[in-house]
Amino acid sequence: MTGSVLLNKGRYRARLARTDQDVQAAQVLRTVTFGTTGIDHDRFDGICSHVLIEDMRTDGQVVCCFRMLTMAGGSDIQRSYSAQYYDLSALEGFGGPMVEMGRFCVHPDRSDPDILRIAWGAMTAFVDRNGIEMLFGCSSFAGTETEQYLDAFAMLKQRHLAPKRWLPRVKAPDVFRFAARLRRRPDAKKAMLRMPPLLKTYLLMGGWVSDHAVVDRHLNTLHVFTGLEIGSIPPARKRLLRSVAG
The string of pLDDT tens digits covering residues 61-104 is 999 999 999 999 999 999 999 999 999 999 999 999 999 999 99
Q: Give yes or no for residue 37 having a pLDDT over 90.
A: no
* Backbone dihedral region for residue 131 (phi beyond 0: left; psi -120 to 50: alpha; all else: beta): left
Q: Which residue type, as a one-letter code, is found at position 104?
A: F
pTM recorded for the entire structure: 0.93
Tens-place pLDDT, residues 110-123: 989 999 999 999 99
What percentage of the chain reaches a pLDDT higher than 70? 98
Tens-place pLDDT, residues 118-172: 999 999 988 988 999 999 999 999 999 999 999 999 999 999 999 999 999 999 9
CA 97 to chain centre: 17
Domains of the chain, each with CATH number or no CATH: 5-245 (3.40.630.30)
**Is 211 in contact with 179 (CB distance < 8 Å)?**
yes
pLDDT value for 3: 58
Residue 243: which pLDDT band, with cuts at 50, 70 and 90?
A: confident
Mean pLDDT of 6-11: 91
Q: Which of 44, 105, 54 is nearest to 79 (CA)?
A: 44
- C-alpha distances (whole Å) from 196 to each of 56, 57, 239 are 26, 27, 23
